[in-house]
Structure 1
Amino acid sequence: MNNDLEVKMADTAPSPFTPGYGKKPAIFGGHGAEFTELRAVFDTLDFGENHSVLVSGLRGAGKTSFITTLQDDARDAGWLVISDDASAGLMGRVMDSTIPALINAMTRESRARLTSFGIWEFNAEIEYVNRHRTVKPQLRSDLVALSSALGASGGILITIDEVSSGKVRLRELSRFALQISHALEDGAQIMVVFAGVKVSLDALLAEEHTTFLRRSREVEFERLSAGETRRVFIETAAIGGRRIDEDALTRLVSLSQGYPYLVQLAGDYAWRNNPNAPTITLADATIAHDKAIKAVESRVISRVYGDLSDVDQKFLNAMAEDDDRTKVADIVKRMDVSDAYVQVYKKRLIDSGYVHAAGHGYVQFSLPYLGAYIRRQLAAEARDGGGTGGWDAYPAPELPS
C-alpha cells in the first residue's frame, strides 16, 4: 500500500454516528429517565413496575438501539441476557440454544448450584452436557433455576424484538409470555421487554395468557424535540473530536426532523464527506442532505408505505394532497366513504405511529418525508398511466394456439 495513503487512512477519524441496524448511538436522544430507572433495577433488583416493559415506535425510531443498550447495561451488572426476535421457533431457540450457551458461560460455582435442580445434565467437571428429559422441559423451570443460581448477584433480562401481529406468531408469543409469567410467580428475578409497533403490541395484549403484560411499563418512541436533536448532533460529533458549524447544524437538524435513524444517517454522511477537517461545514451538511433523503426513502419510507393495506394507503394518499396537516372531513370527501369508516383507519394509523392528531379534527404525518414521497409516487403514476408504464395502450398479443 502507498505510504501516503496509509498515513491518510490512519489520520481519518472514524465516524461516531451509527446508522447501522441495532447499533447503539454514542449519544442517545431522549428517554433519559427511562434509562436511569431501568438501569437502577439491574443494580438493586428492586423492580417496582419494571418486571415487564413494552417498547413501541416506528421503524427507525430507536427501539432496537434502546434494547441493545439495555442488554449491555444488564450484562455489565452481572445479569443473564436472553435476546431474540418474535419469529417462528422462538421457544425452541431460547431453550435449546440460548439457555445452554448462557449456562456454559456461567461461573463454575453457579453451574454447581444448577445441578441440584435436576433440569440439566452436567459432567464431572460441572460442564453442561444435555437437558434431563425425565420430565418435559419448560421455559418456566429453566428461568426459575437460572434465577435461583444467580441469587442476589443478578437477574435475567429477556428482550424480544420485532413483535408481529400475525396470528401464528402471536399464539407462540402468548405461550412464551405465559411461561415468563409463571416464572415470575415462582419468584424468578426477570425483566422482559417486548418491542414493536404499537398495533402489534396491542394485538399481543389482546391474546390470552398475557394478562401480566397489560400492567407493563410503556416506552413510546416518537421523534426527538428540536433541542434534543441539536444536542445529539453536537455531542456525537464532539466524541469524535469535531465541532459543527452553526449553519451546518441548522441544516442537519432541519433535515433529520428528529427522526433518530435519520439523525445518525445524516450525521454519518456529513462526517464522512471530509473526515479530516476539524469542523463539519455547511457543504458537508448539504451533501448529507441529498444522500440521506434518498437513503431513508429507499430503506424506510418506501417499505413502510408498501407494507400498508390498500385502504391505509388510500387514507395516506388523501392526506398527501395537503402540504401540512389535513382535515379529517376532507379525507372523508376524498375517499368518498363514511366518517365512521375513516375513523377506523385513522385510529389504526395513529396506533401504528404513521399519523398523529394535529388539533381537533386534523391529522398529520408522523414519519418525516412520507407525505412528500406519496405525492411523488402519485405524480409519477399519473404521468405513466396509473403505474403501468404506459403499457395499457400496448396489450400483449394472444399466443398462437
Structure 2
Amino acid sequence: MRNPFRPTFGASPYHWAGRSVVLEEFARGLDGYPGEPSRSMVIDGARGIGKTVLLTELEDIAAQHGWIVLRATGREDSVRTLIDTTIPAKIAELAPPAGRAVTAVQFSGFRVDTELLDVPSPTPTLGTRMRDLLGLLRGTGVLITVDEVQDADPDNLSEIALTHQDLIRDEQHVALVMAGLTHGINRLLDLPGTTFLRRARRFELGPLTDDDARAIITATAAKGKPIDADAADLAVEIARGYPYLVQLVGYLAWNRAGSRITRADVEAVCAEAVQTMGSQVHAPSLKGVPPAQMAYLRAMADLIGDAADVSSSDVAERVGKKPNEATDTRGKLLDRGLIEAPAWGRVSFTLPYLAEFLRSDNRTTRVS
C-alpha cells in the first residue's frame, strides 16, 4: 500500500487544509478586471512552511479558470528562460508556427515544393513575448509564478515586475505571484522598479492551526491506515503547526504502523522526525549566516530552554554586548526570518526545534 503522506518540499499534499483566505482571494481576483489587487501577490515565510505548495495551488486555480500558467524560479535565469523557452512553448501549443510557404503543388505523381521563409524579427523581450502570448487568448490571461525569490538575480526580478506593471497599465489580463523567504521578499520590495509591488497583497505564512493539522493527518491517514485520535493529537503536538513536519510525522508513522496508526507508532518516530527536520530544514536555513548572527542564535538557544521566547537583553548580554549594540544583529536575523519578536524586548525562533538543533552537534546521520 502506497504511503499517502508527502514530506517532500513543493509536493502538494493529498489533503489540503488552511490558507483558504489566500486561495479564495486569488480566485476572486481572476474573476475581476485587469489590475485587480489580488492578481499581484507576494508570499513569504520560513522554509517548509508551505510556500511552494501554495504556489502550486494558486497555479491550479488559474488553470481551472482557463489561464495560462508560466512557472519560474529564482534558481535560474528566469527572464531568459521565459523569453527563450517557456513562453515560446506555450505560443507553439496555441498557434503552431508557420515558417514555410508553399511554392508548388503537384498531384498524381507531382510533388509539393516549399521554401523556408527568412523573415527578420527584432530581438524579443519579456514584454513582447507576453504580448504575443496574450494576443492569442480570449477572455483569459497569463499567470507568472516565481519561487525561491531569495535566490533570484535582482535584475531579473525587476524586469519581471516592470513588465507586469506595464501590462497592467495596458489593461491586459495578467497575474504575478512571487514567493520566498522573508529576507528575499524584503529585498525584492526594495529593488528599483518594484515599488508598486509594495501595494500588492502580501501574505506571511504562519503555522497551521491545531485543527487544520489534525484534519490533514486524519484525512490523509484514512486513505489506508486510519489514525487513532490520541495518535493524531500527539502528531499535531510534535508538528507544532509546521506543514512539513505534519507530512513527515505522518509518513514515518505510516511506514511503522500495521493496519492502523497508534500513539505508540507516533511516539516511536518522534526523534527521527526531529532529526530529519534538522538536516532538511535547519541546516539549509543556517547556511551563509555570518558568525555574529550565529553567535546570537546560539545564545538564544542556550537561554530559551523549553520556553517560547527569551529576553533580547539577556541574549545581548550572553554575546557580550549591550542591548543597543546587538540591535543590528537582531534586525538582520528578523529579516532572514529565523527569529521573530512576539512582544517588546522578547525574541523567539520561527522554526520548530531550531533551539534543539543549535544546542546539538548539528551533524547529519552518517551511514556506511
TM-score under structure 2 normalisation?
0.87
Could you tell me which runs of 5 or more consecutive residues in structure 2 were left unpaired when the two chains were aligned.
103-115, 364-368
SS at 2:231 equivalent: helix
SS at 1:141 equivalent: helix
Q: Rate the CA distance shift 1:376–1:186 in 2: closer, same or farther, 3 A.
A: same
In the alignment, which residue of structure 1 is the partner of 2:158?
Answer: 174
In the alignment, which residue of structure 1 is the partner of 2:8?
Answer: 20
After superposition, give the CA deviation of every residue in 1:278-324 in whole Å (9 maximum; x if it has no partner): x2111221233122112111111122123312121111111011212
Contact 2:34 2:174 in 1 (8 A): no
Distance in 2 between residues matched to 1:123 and 1:354, nearest whole Å: 57
Report matched runs for 1:258-337 at 5 Å. 258-274=241-257, 277=259, 279-322=260-303, 323=305, 324=307, 325-337=309-321
Contact 1:160 1:194 in 2 (8 A): yes
Q: 2:212 aligns with which of 216, 221, 228?
A: 228
Q: Rate the CA distance shift 1:182–1:351 in 2: closer, same or farther, 3 A.
A: same
Could you tell me which runs of 5 or more consecutive residues in structure 1 were left unpaired when the two chains were aligned.
1-11, 113-119, 381-401
Contact 2:234 2:266 in 1 (8 A): yes
Contact 2:312 2:345 in 1 (8 A): yes
Distance in 2 between residues matched to 1:24 and 1:268, nearest whole Å: 14
Distance in 1 between residues matched to 2:355 and 2:248, nearest whole Å: 20
Distance in 1 between residues matched to 2:125 and 2:156, nearest whole Å: 14
Report matched runs for 1:74-223 at 5 Å. 74-106=62-94, 111=95, 122-123=99-100, 134-152=121-139, 154-164=140-150, 169-223=153-207
Please report how far the alpha carbon of residue 72 of structure 1 lies from its aligned counterpart in structure 2 after TM superposition: 2.0
After superposition, give the CA deviation of every residue in 1:36-64 in whole Å (9 maximum; x if it has no partner): 12123345557631131101011111000
Contact 1:143 1:188 in 2 (8 A): no
Please report how far the alpha carbon of residue 34 of structure 1 lies from its aligned counterpart in structure 2 after TM superposition: 1.1
Q: Which one-letter code corresponds to 1:267 in the other structure?
A: G
Distance in 1 between residues matched to 2:154 and 2:311, nearest whole Å: 35
Please report how far the alpha carbon of residue 33 of structure 1 lies from its aligned counterpart in structure 2 after TM superposition: 1.4
Q: Which one-letter code corresponds to 1:339 in the other structure?
A: P
1:253 aligns with 2:239: no
Distance in 2 between residues matched to 1:133 and 1:16, nearest whole Å: 53
In the alignment, which residue of structure 1 is the partner of 2:106?
Answer: none
Distance in 2 between residues matched to 1:342 and 1:81, nearest whole Å: 45
After superposition, give the CA deviation of every residue in 1:221-244 in whole Å (9 maximum; x if it has no partner): 121122222222122223x14432
SS at 2:135 equivalent: helix
Distance in 2 between residues matched to 1:30 and 1:250, nearest whole Å: 18
In the alignment, which residue of structure 1 is the partner of 2:360?
Answer: 376
Q: 1:366 aligns with which of 325, 344, 350?
A: 350
Q: Rate the CA distance shift 1:133–1:236 in 2: closer, same or farther, 3 A.
A: farther
Q: Rate the CA distance shift 1:131–1:248 in 2: closer, same or farther, 3 A.
A: farther
Distance in 2 between residues matched to 1:202 and 1:132, nearest whole Å: 44
Contact 2:26 2:39 in 1 (8 A): no
In the alignment, which residue of structure 2 is the partner of 1:341?
Answer: 325
Please report how far the alpha carbon of residue 88 of structure 1 lies from its aligned counterpart in structure 2 after TM superposition: 4.2
Q: Which moved more, 1:176-185 or 1:39-48?
A: 39-48
Q: Rate the CA distance shift 1:223–1:311 in 2: closer, same or farther, 3 A.
A: same
Which structure has the highest helix share of the two? 1
